[in-house]
Structure 1
């Protein structure tokens, strides 16, 4: 019973942390804002995931989990008429960027053990948030498909990234991760 309550509390903390990090700017005039913001929120789960893996000794790379994610987003994309190879590449970039943040956190904690986490939310709670964000990202790919495949994609993407990174007060690590996570969004250029 206590374990179930602890897991429930951890799940609630994770969801509240992501929700609190989400600015109320969904009314942005930038057409790719919601897509980029969902990708940014997904990146922000990396700190909680890294903390869990640090404390449990779990590996940063998890090929089985990656396969589950890529299969799920490909299926979601297919149901929405979005090219599955496009979505698979985009999520491969997103996962690589997230793992890079996790590696950076591990490196920082090795340099400064006093800064290492002493508690972390349950990994399943973080994964539930990630799965929800994955769905939002695929939904935005579907909604923005014409723009993503047009010459206007790159300027729209750059504008959305600048706004999101500023609102979320991203440091250089997170800005670089956002660039990596979104680098294949504009296949036309």
Structure 2
């Protein structure tokens, strides 16, 4: 890959960072669509975050940040009538999925250093997007709480994941990450 291509890849990452806050192409009739789409948008922050960590030498895992996020979503969940353990499990899975994408990006850049980013958005910008998406996700968990705890959850979740993954043109890595991020959404089935 030439230097021009590497710069193009970095520019694409910056564009992706800005695009992650955008909703998918079209809302669907799937009841869990908004929750799953927010989770997907949150996954899409992994690329600009990984680029920042690559360039700054920051670690992929950040236990202090994880604690801040889990404390905030637990408090938000409790205020909205969502069980705190449910929210903690869901966001622990979300964080694991995001870290998985970051590890995959690091591996790719180690194998092909020329493809590594040369610029990245500031980490605080990505974290601001993440915090907003976390709030949206907890809000949607509250709105969909009866469905999330019903036998109808699994088919509704699968349908929403398919629509969102197709609309966002997720590759295999992102589809797997979406499965991991949402795996505890349906505790009843």
Asked whether the two chains share a fold, i.e. TM above 0.5, the reply is yes
Distance 2:105 2:17 in 1: 21
TM-superposed CA distance for 1:16, in Å, is 2.9
- Give the structure 1 partner of residue 18 of structure 2: 16
- Give the structure 2 partner of residue 156 of structure 1: 156
Question: After superposition, what is the alpha-carbon deviation per residue over 1:44-96, rounded to whole angstroms, capped at 9, x for unaligned?
Answer: 00000000000000000000000000000000001001100000000000000
Distance 2:94 2:141 in 1: 14
- Give the structure 1 partner of residue 86 of structure 2: 86
5 Å-filtered alignment, 1:71-110, equals 71-110=71-110
Contact 2:16–2:44, Cα closer than 8 Å, also in 1: no
Q: How many residues were matched structurally?
A: 176
**SS state at 2:20 partner:** helix
Distance 2:102 2:115 in 1: 14
Contact 2:53–2:59, Cα closer than 8 Å, also in 1: yes
5 Å-filtered alignment, 1:24-173, equals 24-26=25-27, 28-173=28-173
- Give the structure 2 partner of residue 4 of structure 1: none
Task: State the Cα RMSD in Å.
Answer: 1.3
Distance 2:78 2:99 in 1: 26
**SS state at 1:137 partner:** helix
Distance 1:111 1:84 in 2: 40
Gaps of 5+ in 2: 1-13
TM-score under structure 2 length normalisation: 0.90
- Give the structure 2 partner of residue 175 of structure 1: 175
Distance 1:101 1:151 in 2: 30
Gaps of 5+ in 1: 1-11
